[in-house]
Amino acid sequence: MGLMVGIQVIMVTIQLRAHLAFLMLPLFVFGVPTDEPDPKEVTTTPSSCRRCCDPLNSHESPEAAPDLASRHSLPYPMPEVRPYINITILKGEKGDRGESGIPGKWGKEGPRGERGPQGQKGSKGQMGAPGDPCKHQYAAFSVGRKKALHSSEGYQALIFDTVFVNLYGHFNMFNGKFYCYVAGLYFFSLNVHTWNFKETYMHIMRNESEEVILYAQPSDRSIMQSQSLMLELQEKDEVWVRLYKRERENAIYSDDIDVYITFNGYLVKPSID
């Protein structure tokens, strides 16, 4: 009987020790609670609390970041949260083209480039306007008359009705005068057909001066008569043919079909300024 009581006492004692050990286990695992702060936790103040996405403090180095989790005695690691923004959702449509800005300053002139390939030949252009007659270094004319002429006045200019050559229009057909536009040495010649029993009396004139005479006395035969000369003309000089009437009738012959009367002139050599 006494043995049974002792055994029961032992078993109760063992159970009490087991319960006591179970109660003391948290103290060994987590430590005894105390009011004194841990030296490692002194630096951790409420102001140092942060979110997981906040950057590190300026006084903390990147190497100290891994120790942050160890200073917070947490039962589980804090996940690292990194925000992600989908740029394609925020991108809008392409806007309109803006106005051109103010042109900038001209830069320095660059080096001359190489000569390019020869282009294709262009089409022929239109004829230009007539040039200044004074610039032409040529002058020539040859005119004739088909109608006979009797002098009715003391002095009468010989007018021509046929043009063979009138280079640049230097000979005026309305008044029978050649106008000098190119100064220089000229050659002139006059050919007429005399009239039977009539006198032929003519002058080749330069301006208002008689230069040479063409003369034929009255005769029972009509003949061809000619005169020629060279003149050194200045610009704007005039050369023409004049009939002179005296006591007898002055006339030159033609039959309205053939050309018996001709007056010619051309530039031999222009003057050198």
- Least confident among 22-36, 78-92, 109-123, 160-174: 22-36
- Comparing C-alpha atoms, which of 147, 154, 145, 176 is closest to residue 249? 154
CB atoms within 10 A of CB 180: 20
In this structure, which topology does domain 140-270 adopt according to CATH?
Jelly Rolls (2.60.120)
9: left (phi over 0), alpha (psi -120 to 50) or beta: alpha
- Torsion over CA: 107, 112, 117, 120 (sign): positive
pLDDT at 30: 53
Q: What is the pLDDT of residues 33-89, one digit of tens each?
A: 555 555 444 444 445 566 656 665 544 455 544 554 455 555 667 777 777 666 666
The SS3 call for residue 226 is strand
pTM, entire model: 0.50
Tokens 């008569």 sit on residue: 225
User: Which is higher by pLDDT, 226 or 60?
Assistant: 226
**Using CA atoms, how far apart are residues 42 and 68, in angstroms rounded to an integer?**
14
- Comparing C-alpha atoms, which of 154, 242, 241, 150 is closest to residue 197? 150
DSSP string, 172-191: ETTTTEEE-SS-EEEEEEEE
143, 171 in Cβ contact below 8 A? yes
pLDDT at 89: 66
The residues, ordered by sequence, that sit 6+ positions from 208 with a Cβ below 8 Å of its Cβ are none
pLDDT > 90 in the chain, percent: 29
159, 145 in Cβ contact below 8 A? yes
* pLDDT class of 219 with cuts at 50, 70, 90: confident
The residues, ordered by sequence, that sit 6+ positions from 250 with a Cβ below 8 Å of its Cβ are 150, 151, 198, 199, 200, 201, 243, 244
**Over 90: is that where the pLDDT of 117 sits?**
no
CB atoms within 10 A of CB 251: 21
Pairing of strands 261-270, 155-157: unpaired
- Comparing C-alpha atoms, which of 38, 35, 32, 27 is closest to residue 70? 38
pLDDT at 96: 84
195, 253 in Cβ contact below 8 A? yes
Whole-number mean pLDDT of the chain?
Answer: 77
